[in-house]
Amino acid sequence: MLFNEPHPLETRVLTKRMHEPGYNGTVEAYERYGGYKQFLKAVEMTPDDIIGEVKTSNLRGRGGAGFPTGMKWGFVPRQSSKPKYIVVNGDESEPGTCKDRVLIENDPHLLIEGCLIAARVVGAERGYVYIRGEYRYLIDIMERAIDEAYRAGWLGQNIKGTGINFDLRAHSGAGAYECGEESALLESLEGKRGNPRIRPPFPAVAGLYASPTVLNNVETFAAVPSILEMGGKAWADLGIEKAGGTKLTCLTGHFNKPGVYELTLGFPVEKMINEVGGGVRGGRKMKAFIPGGSSCPVLTGDEAWPLTMDYDSMAKAGSMLGSGGVILMDETTDMVKAALRIMHFYAHESCGWCIPCREGTAWLKKLLTRLDAGSGSARDIDLVGDLAKNMLGRTFCPLGDAAALPTMSIVKKFRHEFEAKLSRPVSVPVTSPDQLVSLG
């Protein structure tokens, strides 16, 4: 099922099949539209050639960090006494992000084919698709697709006579944002608490069960068949220099036409908002813009309008492309409350492993709650910025930064809104201790 109308400005590469009338994502349908041919092509290529194409394509990880995928695959040792693994990150928990869902729901075999190609590259014989627990129905879809693929001979032993063996399973998470972080995901997949691991070693060298592991986002794996199909160069050319291809972009918040759209990298923000997203809700002014999920620093409307949707452009503007979860806030938005809601999330999701994140997010949540309720002081505003700054760059994993960055940017860019709340009379209808955000 598709959740929103497609848009003519989309460049449909990963999502091309799902838009075909009657396409139902079964193995037969997938094969009918040329599915699994790229895997067979990959079998004819050498691992180095495949990695070469992926490098040429300028595919960068779609999970948020944007690390070049070809390079990452190249880190996996060719010779290893240990079995190798493919792990798909389908934890999709970054607020504002809901794209992997679209891929798995509508075209699960595309993901399986991506995994097969990766397995072919590194010589992995087992893989897991880690899907967040809330997406139970997607786990069911994935499992059905996997069963179909086994039946059709695309998974299992000696796949289609290629001599390649590959087993794939779906694995359910159980509600933890931190398990999207790759090393915490591996801990979780091993049946443990989702605490991140010390790196190095990186998963490519010692990942699942301390074995070499290729770990990528759903969308990253799903991009690979089209790279082989089009050739790395043509795929790269869809995007811009240093960022090839398309990105599933989630328009959320105050859009007239929110939805998930496949846009080329480097797509202008202005065009994205006004044409693809149908403009700002009610024709209002855009107050703030988050390019890639709530972990990214917030840009003001003025800052965001002239940018393009790619890694470098966003970095230059002081934010990040992230996971492609665009959050648009119009002029009616209460930025103090937005800051509080974002911090509430990180405090809830901090795994508790390291001190600055565990204590910092909890403290900031309390502080922002008071500020939002109108019982803060001017000193508290500085303290918010200060504490966030004190967390930044010092936590064990990037979740701490993810909590600090948006907070710092909101305090800096929307300080007047905090100040305006200082004298508001206090009335805090807290219904339960854990529900500190719902302040009316």
Partner 1 sequence: MMTATPTEVTTVTLSINGQSVTAPAGTLLIEVCKKLGTEVPAFCYYEGFSLQAACRMCLVEIEKFPKLQASCTIPVSEGMVVRTESPAVVAARKDMLEFLLSNHPLDCPVCDKGGECELQDMTFRYGAGESRFTEIKVHTPEKQWSPVVFYDAPRCILCYRCVRVCDEGLGVGALGIQYRGVGAEIIPNMGDHLNCDECGACIDICPVGALTSGAYRYKTRPWEMNHVGTVCTHCSNGCKTTLGVRTDEIIRGNNRDSSGINGEFLCGKGRYAFDFNKHEDRLTSPLIRKDGQLVEVSWSEALKAVATKFSETQAAGGSFGVIGGVHSTNEENYFLQKFARQGLKTANLDHQRTGDVPALLDALSGKSDVLATTDDLYNTAAALVIGSDLAQQHPFLAYQLRANGRHHNARVYTVTPGKVREADYAAASLTYGSTSELFGKLDELRDRLKAEPELVILFSDAIKGADVAKLVAYGDSLGITVKYVALVDYSNSRGALDMGLLPTLGPGYHAAPVNGLAAPDMLAAGLDVLWVVGADSGKGNAKFTVVQDMFLTPTAAAADIVLPSASAYEKSGTVTNVCGQVQKLKPAVRTMGTKPDLEIMGLIAREMGLNLGIWTHDHVLTEIRSGVAGYNVPLPIIQTGGAAQAQPVNGRVPLDGRPELVQSAQDTLFTSGTLGRYSKALTSVIEYPGKLYSDNQ
Partner 2 sequence: MTFSPDLEARFEKLVASYPEGRTRSAVIPMLMYAQDELGAVTPELVAEVAKRCKVPPIQVEEVIGYYSMLHRKPQGKYHVQVCTNISCLLVGGEELYHHASKKLGIGHKQTTADGIFSLEEVECMGACSWAPAVEIDYTFHHHVTPEKLDQLLDGLKKPQ
Ligand X SMILES: Cc1cc2nc3c(=O)[nH]c(=O)nc-3n(C[C@H](O)[C@H](O)[C@H](O)COP(=O)(O)O)c2cc1C
Residues in contact with ligand X by CB under 6 A are 61-65, 67, 69, 89, 91-94, 177-178, 180-182, 215-217, 220, 397-399, 402
Q: Give whichever of 32 and 192 is closer to partner 2, judged by the CB atom.
A: 192
What would the DSSP string read from start to end of 45-61?
S-HHHHHHHHHHTT-B-
> 282 and 330 in contact (C-beta within 8 Å)?
yes
Residue 250 binds partner 2 (CB under 8 A):
yes
**Of 32, 136, 199, 316, which lies in the binding site for partner 2, with binding defined by CB under 8 A?**
136
Residues that bind partner 1 (CB under 8 A): 176, 178, 193, 198, 347-356, 358-363, 366-367, 370, 383, 390-391, 393-396
Among partner 1, ligand SF4, ligand X, none, what does residue 370 contact (CB within 5–8 Å per kind)? partner 1
In Å, how far from its chain's centre is CA 82? 29
**Size (the chain), residues:** 440
d(C-alpha 185, C-alpha 132), whole Å: 10
Let me know: does 432 contact 440? Beta carbons within 8 Å.
Answer: no
Sheet holding 126-131, edge to edge: 167-172, 126-131, 85-90, 213-217
> Binding to ligand SF4 by residue 113, rule CB under 6 A?
no
CA distances from 144 to 132, 151, 381 (A): 17, 11, 52
Please compute, for residue 319, the number of CA atoms within 13 A of its CA located in the half-sphere on the CB side: 34
Asked if residue 16 lies in contact with residue 34, where contact means CB atoms within 8 angstroms, the answer is no
Of 126-134, 357-365, 373-381, 387-395, which part binds partner 2 (CB under 8 A)?
Answer: 126-134
According to CB under 8 A, which one of 338, 371, 391, 403 is a site residue for partner 2?
A: 338
By a kind-dependent CB cut-off of 5 to 8 A, residue 358 interacts, out of ligand X, ligand SF4, partner 2, none, with ligand SF4
- At its nearest, how many Å lie between ligand X and the CB of residue 176? 10
Of the pair 36, 353, the CB lying nearest ligand SF4 is at: 353
For partner 2, the closer CB: 240 or 288: 288
Please, which residues bridge with residue 240 across strands? 243
Please report where in the chains the tokens 């509430």 appear, as a residue: 344
279 binds partner 2 (CB under 8 A): no
For position 135 contacting partner 2 by CB under 8 A, the verdict is yes
- SS3 (DSSP) at 404: helix
Question: Which strands make up the sheet holding 259-264, listed edge to edge?
Answer: 259-264, 246-253, 325-330, 286-290, 299-300
CA atoms within 13 A on the CB side of 375: 9
Residue 390 CB, nearest approach to partner 1 (Å): 4
* Binding flag, residue 352, ligand SF4 (CB under 6 A): yes
Binding site residues, ligand SF4, CB under 6 A: 178, 196, 350-354, 357-358, 395-397, 399-400
The footprint of partner 2 (CB under 8 A) covers: 3-4, 83, 92-98, 100-101, 126, 128, 132-137, 169, 171-177, 188-194, 209, 250-254, 258-260, 294, 325, 327, 329, 333, 337-338, 341-342, 345, 348-349, 351, 431-432, 434-435, 437-438, 440
